[in-house]
Amino acid sequence: MIKLFLFFIFYLPACLSMAQEIKVYFSPNGGCQEAVISEIRKATHTIDIAMYYLSSGRIVQALVKAEDRNVRIRIVLDQGQEIEAASKSSYLIKHGLMVRYHLGFGLMHNKFAIIDGGSLITGSFNWTLTAEERNEENLLIITDQETIEKYEERFNYLWETSRIDSRNARGFEVIPSWFCATFHVLC
């Protein structure tokens, strides 16, 4: 009887606290974009994003609204996004969001976001309309703290090793973007 009592008092609550929720979404048209927007809308303090390709107007609008709510947003994009016509990086910068570009020689192919240190969005899903409507992609929303901490470490590394936009606040190039993309210095 004492063992059963101890089980209910100590072991069962510990097991329940370890049970974390994972939500799974697929595209096309499987709710990935809405899930991302929903998580952004829940943010109250921070959003850290490492994203290869970001061109979804709806997701960008949700990010701008989060910035308007004083949520601190940091975004690391692949360096190709600085000059890609469909990229929303310039729009985000003009609206006051902090955007940096990856300096590595390979692609910055990550696709994840951390919301308030308590929710992780990850998977193959690029934040684009094509990914939502045509591509076969997946998205996971994870609340496991240990997993989130590993992604936070990686994001901080990416943030520290990336460079700021080569344009000033008015959109004029201070250092030509082709120079930054080619030589990875002084940018």
**Which two tokens mark 139?**
């998205």
Q: Please indicate whether residue 19 or residue 89 has the higher confidence score (pLDDT).
A: 89
Average pLDDT, the chain: 84
Per-residue pLDDT, 64: 96
> CB of 32 within 8 A of CB of 121?
no
Separation of alpha carbons 115 and 137, rounded Å: 21
Per-residue pLDDT, 59: 97
> CB of 64 within 8 A of CB of 97?
yes
Checking if the pLDDT of 99 tops 80, the result is yes
Checking if the pLDDT of 19 tops 90, the result is no
Query: Considering the chain, what percentage of its residues have pLDDT values greater than 70?
Result: 76
Q: Which residues are catalytic?
A: 109, 111, 116
Separation of alpha carbons 4 and 7, rounded Å: 5
Checking if the pLDDT of 90 tops 80, the result is yes
- Most confident of the ranges 6-20, 30-44, 86-100: 30-44
> CB of 52 within 8 A of CB of 108?
yes
Provide the pLDDT confidence category of residue 117 given band limits of 50, 70 and 90. Answer: very high
The reported pTM is 0.79
- What mean pLDDT is predicted for residues 54-77? 96
- What mean pLDDT is predicted for residues 69-88? 87
Checking if the pLDDT of 170 tops 60, the result is no
Ranking 9-23, 115-129, 154-168 by mean pLDDT, the lowest is 9-23
Provide the pLDDT confidence category of residue 46 given band limits of 50, 70 and 90. Answer: very high
Phi, psi of 184 (to 5 degrees): 60, 25
Separation of alpha carbons 115 and 157, rounded Å: 17
